[in-house]
Every structure is written in structure tokens, then in C-alpha cells.
Amino acid sequence: MIRSIGYAIKQAVTQVFRNRTMTIASMFSITAMLLILGLFFILVVNVNLASENVKKQFDSIQLYLLETTDKNTAQGMIDSLNSMPEVNEAIYVDKDTAMQEFRNSWGNKAYLLDGVDPNPLPNSIKITVSNLEDADLVVEVAKTFQGVEDIKYYQTEVNQVLKITDYIQVGALVIIVFLIFVSVVVVSNTVKLTVLAREREISIMKYIGATNWFIRGPFLAEGMLIGCFSAILSAGLISFIYYKICELFSLRALALLSTSLVPLNFLIWNLVWIFISLGVCIGAFGSIVSMRRFLDT
């Protein structure tokens, strides 16, 4: 058994180098598939992260207080809000802090706000809910408070964003499954070409008395080896591409979508394992599928 496996691996390595053209052809097709697959994977992971961020950022409710509402009244509201299990945290934001935050969000154009005096922003209470679905309940309670000018929250908007990201994720997953299927077909066709080129060889092996698994072994190992090489190649390429994307868009993504990209390191190591297992499986499955016809006695 061990001797057979050793034999298969040794033969596969020899074949991979002897049939360089075929090896490279197969490697290119698997690599291309994995690259597209990888890009969708990156998309899914980032959309996931973005939707998490959106949830986190907009799970808050703002209560804008009237000028006449004093700090003690506000504290009363905060206390009663904090006693609700649906509320994660309720804090008082005075108008100066609000202005400062506003200035920060304008970045280096904050000087434009210099002329805005007196500060037009109201004092407010910022409520973070534990669960976005409970926001309505909290708002109902907040509406009963005296001294509140306006209540702002983004449940509808957030839900819309989450729905869109859901669609993107499901769509990408469907495409990924489809691509895996396509790569098995492409690989099995490429391997079929190698097998076809060696049909005579296989028939000779059978004449000498080789078992089907003995014949299949080296092809299987060859497929897996090619799959593995392709996985490493495409993981390398994807890393490079993603590194460039991060370099170019990281800041812009932060500014536009108020979300950051998934860190390169985290993504690469996951991608390498996914690609290697996927590449090896695609290679193995492709070999077995393509050899079926040639091994009928």
C-alpha cells in the first residue's frame, strides 16, 4: 500500500516534468478559475465585514434635546433608558462635543466651520441598542419624554443595506459554486487530453497486469500536484492583487463606505488553505472523472 502510494507520487512528479506543456496548460486553467473564485471570495468577505460595520455604526438612536431641556432632565431620561434591557448604552452628548465630532468628520476642511457661531447643534442623547430590531421599541419610549425636539434613527436604511449585502453574498456564493463546477469540467477535460495521449500506455499497463488503481494512482497524484501548484500560484497572485487594492482603496473605502477592508494577512492565510484544498480536490476529482472511460476492462 505504502509502496504503491510512494510509486504513484514518484511517477506523478516525473510525469509533471516530462509533460511540461500539459502541466502548464492545466495549471493555467485551474489558476484562472481559482483567481476568479478568489476575487469573489474577497468580495464576500469584505461585504460581510462592511455589513457588520454598518450594523455597528448605525445601531444608535439620536435624541435631540430642546434648548430649554437642562442636564438634570436629560440625566433622568438617560437613567430610564439605561434601565431598559433593549438599550446597550445611553450617553449624553453636549453641543460642544457634537461640534467637535462634526469638525473631526470634516477633516482638513474643518476650517469652513470656523464661521459658524454660535454653535447651532443641539445637546443630544446617543442611545446604542443591543439589537437593531429593538430600535422601534426604544423609540416609542423616547417619544414619551418631555423636552425632546427630534428623534433620528436609521433602521429602515440599515435594513436596506443589510438586504443588499445579503443579495451580494448569496449571488457570490452561487457564482463560486458554479465556478467550482466549471473548473472540475475544465480540469477533467485537460486531464482527459493527457490520458488520451497516453491511452496506449494505459492499455499496455493493463496487458502487463496493472490494477486499475495502480494505473489511476499516478494520474490522481499528478492531478492533485497540479491542483496544489495552481493553488499556490493563484493564492500568490490574489495576495498581490489584494495588496494593491488595499494600497489604492483602503482610505477611499473608509471615506466612502465608512468601513475598512479585511486585513491582508487574515485573508491570505484563509485563502491559501481554501485554495490548496480546493485545488487538490479539483485535481483529484478531475483525474478520476476523466479516467473512468479508459479503465473499463
Name residue, grid cell 414619551.
Answer: 144
CB of 297 to another protein, least distance (A): 5
Closer CB to another protein, 111 or 207, in the complex: 207
Q: Which of 283, 297, 296 is nearest to 219 (CA)?
A: 283
Which residue's CB is nearer to another protein, number 213 or number 243?
213
**Rounded distance between C-alpha atoms, residue 121 and residue 219, angstroms:** 72
Please answer whether residues 98 and 124 qualify as being in contact, where contact means their C-beta atoms are separated by less than 8 angstroms: yes
Angstrom distance (rounded) from CA 200 to CA 26: 21
Shortest reach from residue 15's CB to another protein, in Å: 8
CB-count exposure of residue 230 (10 Å: 0-12, 13-18, 19+):
buried
The residues that touch another protein, with contacts defined as CB under 8 A, are 3-4, 7, 18, 200-201, 204-211, 214, 297
Q: Interior CA angle at 136 toward 134 and 139, to 5°?
A: 115
For the bound state, the minimum distance from the C-beta of residue 185 to another protein, rounded and expressed in Å, comes to 27
Q: Looking at the DSSP assignment, which residues form a beta bridge with residue 90?
A: 127
Residue 177 or 204: the one with the smaller Cβ distance to another protein is 204
Nearest approach in angstroms of CB 2 to another protein is 10
**Looking at beta carbons only, is 167 or 213 nearer to another protein?**
213
Residue 232 Cβ, how far from another protein at the closest point, in Å?
26
Our CB check for another protein shows the closer of 13 and 39 to be 13
